[in-house]
Amino acid sequence: MQDTPDALPDLPPSLRFLKGLVIVLMITMIVGVITVVGLLVTRMPDGNARPLLPAAVSLPDGLVAEAVTAGKGWFAVVTTDQQILVFGPDGALVQQVRIGATPAP
């Protein structure tokens, strides 16, 4: 009195083709995710890297630093009296820019 068949019937050809496509898609997605994660891990810059700044920087008399930013080969200090002081990698003052509000027309 066994009602279950011993062997499962074969799938129709269209479903076998669809099953093959799903398996190929799954393998492609797995390889893609592994590739993206691998590239992100190997190509990410070091998160702890800091710009190279000189040991000491002397601001002109009476100026107080408010913010600092850095680029390749330079860094800038924004002062409380609305000036931007651009320094070279050796700490020498390269440029001084005054920030002013534009007058209303």
Q: What is the pLDDT of residues 6-58, one digit of tens each?
A: 677 788 888 999 999 999 999 999 999 999 999 988 887 766 667 777 878 88
> Does 1 map to a domain?
no
Amino acid in the structure at residue 26: M
Query: pLDDT tier at 101 (50, 70, 90 boundaries)?
Result: low
CB 83, CB 93: distance < 8 Å: no
Whether 94 is covered by a domain: the verdict is: yes
Which residue would you say has higher pLDDT here, 4 or 63?
63
Q: Are residues 38 and 55 in the same domain?
A: no
34 and 55 housed in the same domain: no
- Indicate the number of domains in the chain: 2
Contact call for residues 51 and 75 (beta carbons, < 8 A): yes
Q: For residue 75, how many other CB atoms are within 10 A of its CB?
A: 20
Task: Give dist(CA 86, CA 73) in Å, integer.
Answer: 11
Same domain flag for 57 and 101: yes
**Residue with the larger pLDDT of the pair 101 and 73:** 73
- Banded pLDDT at 85 (limits 50, 70, 90): very high
* Size of the chain, expressed as the number of residues it contains: 105
List the CATH number of the domain containing 74: 2.40.10
Token pair in block for residue 66: 């408010």
pLDDT of residue 20: 94
Q: Residue 1: which pLDDT band, with cuts at 50, 70 and 90?
A: low
99 within a domain of the structure (yes/no): yes
Q: Is the pTM of this model over 0.85?
A: no
Query: Per-residue pLDDT averaged across 48-70, rounded?
Result: 83
Strand, helix or coil for residue 84: strand
